[in-house]
A and B are shown apart, each in its own frame.
Chain A
């Protein structure tokens, strides 16, 4: 497979992509997720791991580089998207980076609807920041199947290097695993060289066990990333859901040797939460997953809080939102 972009610009290229595997229903059948135990682990983790001072600053910078800076609104315009892209190029004020002894950083990607891809690609020209597009009738995924596949193809053609698809929740809720697998397979194929993130819409799957099963099946069908939510469900990314999904990623890695990325999306808006997520990843998956090619935050307001905490770190005084340029 030929990749058109330089490795430095797309960290995903460091690792071979997940080719998927045949649907293994035995695996799906043995998946378990004990909700209470998972919640206990999720609750104790933030108390078990904390990072302070320079470590905290470094971890927050890492978090910033893992953000898919996102705008997914009906009132998005080219101007709005260009402003977001500018923020993605320079997510943290240069003077703060300087005081931290860091060179320039960027966010992990910019995430938009299909119609904004062109604008974003232009605005990010030369930055190496990939454009991600939500697709397949996002957020509900209930438009005609052929159109959903076509939408992926259009978005890839328009320059999106990452496609965030939504699965058909009904396949999970009716336990139609073959249909879920086939759908994901088709989406993956339509993506071509673009990486595919499978959005499970975990808030609509009814149980953590269903989240685990959907995670495993999407990986079997070739997902490069699995992602919690569209941001439009009433419940989005949570630590328990994340724990279930990353444990599925770990099992898949143990079984196949392929690294699948993880993207919690929606509801993560505090720097402290971002650190908890990074610690969770480090504990359950290992440090290799703490790079933007394998971990992303789907978030829009998180960045501002990170900036404020970083400024606090360098000045010792608590910061204010307006001191950091809006995205």
Chain B
């Protein structure tokens, strides 16, 4: 084309980014990506190929790390950890040096990422790499502040980290920066498609003065991931598919390993009729065509208000026609290559199987590319509205009212992110808390920063990455929990002496209910005296309790002040009956109950105090706007109350959950259940709405697996003295609910953290 021709056509022409340096780097490192263990490379083996999806050409060989090598990596990390944990200020300096090192190699990293993953160079250069750098700067600060600001926390130890291929360097940064900042050491496995930037990173660590063994990288496929999960690490941090996340949950059940999962999504993108439609269309470019739609938080489910739907779709299609798809190393490309032919096939098959709605597609070059696609007119029941596609495919339907938008948005197993567009602040800030998601973006999308937590609810996983809230995932309380001793029920013989039968009942939905199974047991005192009779709850009683708890949803919308008042009122009514409870505890346990009743009263006062004070934060994210880290109730919590401390344990569990607006299904102390059944009367006189607290009695072992697997329970807390951690954690994989196991309720702040989810609501502003 001559200048004259171009003057007429005004085409863009090619704008290639050079890959010479990146190719030379690979060559200079033997052409193989392999393990970096204890500060040394190798052994490097060319076990399989890492290809550039845009060209189909081999970039490098990759080593499939062996189990022995993974073992050495964990051992090296274990050895390095105590020294690394010692000095936060030193860690701050090292992490700062890592950030600087990344910055100095930013173009190399961007080009390598683009070649390895297929993402446009613009995105690697302007988004992935700068965010990764920012993460290290930000967490250098956390390392500096840890001693001062988190005096009660200490590192977990060695963290096994498994990351996906969609943002290889960025996910590495999200995993490694907080782990290192808090004094942990790591063994990280990059995805098998994309190991190359991790190699550059390892080299940068070396240059930045990261001590040997603090950062270990092991390459390979999912089998290496399994080796890490099975190894002697203290935590597994995983980002990837929900299916694999579920397997990891099952595999780590009962192991005592901490776990954080950042999984899939089908995030809603809601456009209200008063939105700036052009900007909302442009937002979709960042939502679903960013990184070829291979983004866990992609706004992939478009919900448009009916009155503007036609206009919006017309604008959207016009915008799609302008997307440039092709060579990822071209600076003017919007959509690059799909990471691998296998992923391309998965996308292609899913779309080919769809027979509903109307499909609009632009074109894509030959090879590992998929054209930007919009499918309108789908119904909520369509598989494509439910399943994650993980490609540049947007599916859409319409809604009538804000309430319907919320209903549709939440009609999913996932809960990672949500986007909403409206110019009405009342609508925006009214809807955001109602969306079931870890992140809500108002009038923007895919905004991320190291200062704001990222992570989901429901089957999008648990744990947050980034911000103060992300540090919890890499620290633990300094107190060493005492090991749990099983407390058995006392035995005895003979019936109850009281002439009038006083069989306790279950407390479900504000009513005393007989157990579904029709069985009960006599509770005996330490000397074998029959003290009372309690029902044996079964799975149906649990089911009814959960239904009742969901019926009491409005509790979660009450004010902290109101909840505080009710907790104080509980304390008041408990105090009136203090002597009765003291006697009851004494009769069941043989020990004085006076101190325990006082503890229970004090606990109620503590959580009443916190109810309107456990505030969220406003994060200092680098936009003109705010990221509101709101603390929301987890939802419905099932709890096995401590066997020891039949009253105080019950009260701590109940009060911490209620303070944050949760509803609870409590399994009372198994050996000493009568304090709980007596407490029902206290609850009944204390203005607690029906369904907010439900109390079951009977066998923890009987109820635990059903609590764990119940899809409509959001968290299970296990303070039982029975060995139930494994069954609860394994069964919790059903809906990936959060679980907490401890010998007894934790300190107030830790309980409140367990009782709440942090939702980051991004609100850019300015007229």
Residues of B within 8 A of A49 (CB): 12, 332
The reply to whether B276 and A47 form a contact with Cβ atoms under 8 Å apart is no
Which of A37-45, A113-121, A155-163 contacts its partner? A37-45
A41 to B334, CA, bound (A): 13
Q: Please tell me which one of the listed residues A33, A101, A207, A247 contacts residue B2 in the complex, with CB atoms under 8 A apart.
A: A101
A62 surroundings in chain B (CB, below 8 A): 7, 10
In the bound complex, CA of A92 to CA of B334 (Å): 34
The segment from A51-59, A129-137, A138-146 found at the interface with B is A51-59
A57–B2 alpha-carbon span in the complex (Å) = 10
A37 touches B6 (CB 8 A): no
Query: Do A50 and B331 touch (CB < 8 A)?
Result: yes
B14 near A41 (CB under 8 angstroms)? no
Instruction: Judge if A48 is at the interface, Cβ distance under 8 Å.
Output: yes
Q: Interface code A56-82, partner B: CB below 8 Å = 1, 0 otherwise? A: 011101100000000000000000000
Whole-angstrom distance between the Cβ of B12 and the nearest chain A Cβ: 6
Given contacts A37-B283, A41-B282, A283-B322, contact A54 B277 (CB under 8 A): no
Q: Which residue of A lies closest to B273 (CB)?
A: A30
Question: Which of B211-219, B229-237, B373-381, B759-767 is found at the contact surface with chain A?
Answer: B759-767
Q: Are B7 and A208 in touch, CB under 8 angstroms?
A: no
Answer yes or no: A176 CB below 8 A from chain B CBs.
no
Distance in angstroms from B720 CB to nearest chain A CB is 50
Q: Which residue of B lies closest to A58 (CB)?
A: B6
B13 near A52 with CB under 8 A, answer: yes
- Bound-state CA distance A49–B331 (Å) is 7
- Let me know if B352 is at the binding interface, CB within 8 A: no
Q: How far is the CB of A11 from chain B (nearest CB, A)?
A: 13
When C-beta atoms are compared, the residue in chain B nearest to A34 turns out to be B276
Q: How far is the CB of A209 from chain B (nearest CB, A)?
A: 7
A208 CB contacts on chain B under 8 angstroms:
767
Contacting pair B3 A57 (CB below 8 A): yes
Report the minimal beta-carbon distance from A139 to chain B, rounded to whole angstroms.
Answer: 25
Cβ contact within 8 Å between A54 and B3: yes
Which of chain B's residues has its CB closest to A251's CB? B278
Q: Please state if B13 and A38 are interface contacts (CB–CB under 8 Å).
A: no
Interface residues of B, CB < 8 Å — how many?
42
In contact, B276 and A59 (Cβ under 8 angstroms)? no
What residue of chain A has the Cβ atom nearest to residue B332's Cβ? A49
Contact call A61/B3, Cβ cutoff below 8 A: yes
Cβ contacts under 8 Å, A54 to chain B: 1-3, 6, 13
Q: Separation in Å of the B663 CB from the closest CB of chain A? A: 37
- B473: Cβ under 8 A from any A Cβ: no
Inter-chain contact A287/B10, CB cutoff 8 Å: yes
Asked whether, in the complex, the Cβ of A55 is within 8 Å of the Cβ of B122, the reply is no
> Is B274 in contact with A32, judged by CB distance below 8 angstroms?
yes
> Known contacts A32-B276, A36-B765, A40-B444: does B7 contact A48 (CB below 8 Å)?
no
Tell me whether B554 is interfacial, beta carbon within 8 Å: no
Closest chain A residue to B766 by CB distance? A35
**Known contacts A50-B331, A52-B14; A58 and B3 CB within 8 A of each other:** yes
- The smallest C-beta distance from B335 to any residue of chain A, in angstroms, reads 11
The verdict on B624 contacting chain A, using a C-beta distance below 8 Å, is yes
Query: CB within 8 A of B443: which of A30, A37, A47, A100?
Result: A37
Query: What residues of A have a CB within 8 angstroms of the CB of B3 in the complex?
Result: 54, 57-58, 61, 100-102
Q: Report yes or no: B10 in contact with A36, Cβ–Cβ below 8 A.
A: no
A103 to B276, CA, bound (A): 44
Q: Could you mark each residue 434-463 of chain B with 1 if its beta carbon is under 8 Å from any beta carbon of chain A, else 0?
A: 000000000110000000000000000000
B15 close to A (CB within 8 Å): yes
Residue in chain B with minimal CB distance to A254: B314
User: In the complex, how many angstroms separate the beta carbon of A203 from the nearest chain B beta carbon?
Assistant: 15
Contact indicator B444/A55 (Cβ below 8 Å) = no
Measured in the bound complex, the distance between the Cα atoms of B6 and A107 in whole Å is 18
Distance between B106 CB and nearest chain A CB, rounded to angstroms: 14
Say if the beta carbon of A237 comes within 8 Å of chain B: no
Which residues of chain B have C-beta atoms less than 8 A from A100's C-beta? 3-4
Q: Are A52 and B15 in contact (CB under 8 A)?
A: yes
Q: Mark A12-34, 1 if CB is under 8 A from B, else 0.
A: 00000000000000000010111
* B201 → chain A closest CB, angstroms: 24
CB atoms of A37 and B276 under 8 A apart:
yes
A35 to B322, CA, bound (A): 22
B559 to chain A, nearest CB (A): 31
| A53-B279 in contact given A61-B3, A101-B4, A283-B322 (Cβ < 8 Å) | no
Q: B356 in the interface, Cβ–Cβ < 8 Å?
A: no
Contact bitstring B118-146, A, C-beta under 8 A = 1, else 0: 00001001100000000000000000000
- CA A257 – CA B183 in complex, angstroms? 64
Tell whether A172 is near chain B: CB-to-CB under 8 Å. no
**Nearest CB of B to A244, in Å:** 9
Contact with A along B1-34 (1 / 0, CB 8 A): 1111111011111110000000000000000000
Chain B residues closer than 8 Å to A180, beta-carbon distance: none
- In the bound assembly, the distance between CA atoms of A100 and B10 in angstroms comes to 15
Q: Does A200 contact B (CB under 8 A)?
A: no
> Once bound together, how far apart are the Cα atoms of A208 and B767, in whole Å?
7
A165 sits at the interface (CB 8 A)? no
B279 interface neighbour in A38, A55, A58, A103, Cβ under 8 Å: A38
Does B423 belong to the interface (CB within 8 Å)? Answer: yes
Contact between B10 and A290 (Cβ–Cβ < 8 Å)?
yes
Task: Evaluate contact between B279 and A41: CB separation under 8 angstroms.
Answer: yes
Q: Is A241 an interface residue (CB 8 A)?
A: no
**B82 touches A (CB below 8 Å):** no
Of B15, B282, B766, which one neighbours A51 at CB under 8 angstroms? B15
Contact check, B275 vs A55: say whether CB atoms are below 8 A apart. Answer: no
Decide if B7 touches A102 in the complex (CB within 8 Å): yes
| Interfacial chain A residues near B2, Cβ < 8 Å | 54, 101
Tell me whether A278 is interfacial, beta carbon within 8 Å. yes
Which residues in A have their C-beta under 8 angstroms from that of B590? none
Q: Does B625 contact A (CB under 8 A)?
A: yes
Q: Are A247 and B332 in contact (CB under 8 A)?
A: no
Interface string of B304-343 (1 = CB under 8 A from A): 0000000000100000001000000001101000000000
A60 CB → nearest B CB, Å: 10
Interface string of A228-249 (1 = CB under 8 A from B): 0000000000000000000100
B residues 356-404 touching A (CB-CB < 8 Å): none
**Assembly CA distance A169 to B105 (angstroms):** 50
| Inter-chain contact B334/A55, CB cutoff 8 Å | no
* Chain B window 95-125, contacts with chain A (Cβ cutoff 8 Å), 1 for yes, 0 for no: 0000000000000000000000000001001
Q: Which residue of B lies closest to A314 (CB)?
A: B3
Residues of A within 8 A of B766 (CB): 35-36, 39
Q: Is A207 a contact of B282 with CB atoms below 8 Å? A: no
**A282 in contact (CB, < 8 A):** yes
Q: A36-B764, A61-B7, A282-B10 are in contact. Are A50 and B15 (CB under 8 A)?
A: yes
B632 CB, nearest partner CB in chain A, Å: 25
**How far is B278's CA from A208's CA once the two chains are assembled, in angstroms?**
13
Q: How near does chain A come to B634, taking the closest CB pair, in angstroms? A: 31
**CB <8 Å contact, A55 and B443:** no
Inter-chain contacts of A37 with B (CB < 8 A): 276, 279-280, 282-283, 443-444, 764
Given A48-B122, A49-B12, A50-B332, A36–B4 Cβ distance below 8 Å? no
Distance of A248 Cα from B114 Cα, bound (Å):
36
Q: In the assembled complex, how far is the CB of residue B35 from the closest CB belonging to chain A, in whole angstroms?
A: 36
Identify the closest chain B residue to A244 (Cβ): B278
Point out which of A30, A36, A62, A209 has the most chain B C-beta atoms below 10 A from its C-beta.
Answer: A36
Known contacts A32-B276, A36-B444, A37-B764; is-contact A53 B13 (Cβ 8 Å): yes
Knowing that A36-B624, A58-B3 touch, tell me 15 more A-B residue pairs with CB under 8 angstroms. Answer: A32-B276, A33-B279, A34-B443, A38-B279, A48-B122, A51-B13, A52-B15, A54-B13, A55-B6, A57-B6, A58-B5, A59-B10, A247-B278, A283-B322, A287-B10
Q: List 21 A-B contacts (CB under 8 A).
A: A32-B274, A32-B423, A33-B279, A34-B275, A34-B421, A36-B444, A36-B623, A41-B282, A48-B332, A50-B331, A51-B13, A51-B15, A52-B14, A52-B15, A59-B6, A62-B10, A207-B767, A208-B767, A209-B767, A279-B12, A283-B322
A binding-site residues for B, Cβ under 8 Å: 30, 32-41, 44, 47-55, 57-59, 61-62, 100-103, 207-209, 247, 254, 278-279, 282-283, 287, 290
